Amino acid sequence: MSRTHSQSVTAQLGGKQMSAEFSEQTGQLCIRQEGILVREWFPPHSWIAIASVAGARNWGTRPSADELMALLENQAVLLQVG
pLDDT cut 70: percent of the chain above it: 90
**The pLDDT value given to residue 55:** 76
Domain boundaries, given as residue ranges, for the chain: 6-77
pTM of the full structure: 0.86
Do residues 49 and 29 touch, judged by C-beta distance below 8 A?
yes
**Rounded Cα–Cα distance for residues 18 and 34 (Å):** 6
* CA distance from start to end of the chain: 42
User: What mean pLDDT do residues 68-82 have?
Assistant: 86
How do residues 25-49 score in pLDDT, each as one tens digit? 999 999 999 999 999 999 999 999 9
Is residue 22 predicted with pLDDT exceeding 60? yes
Q: How confident is the model at residue 59 (pLDDT cuts 50, 70, 90)?
A: confident
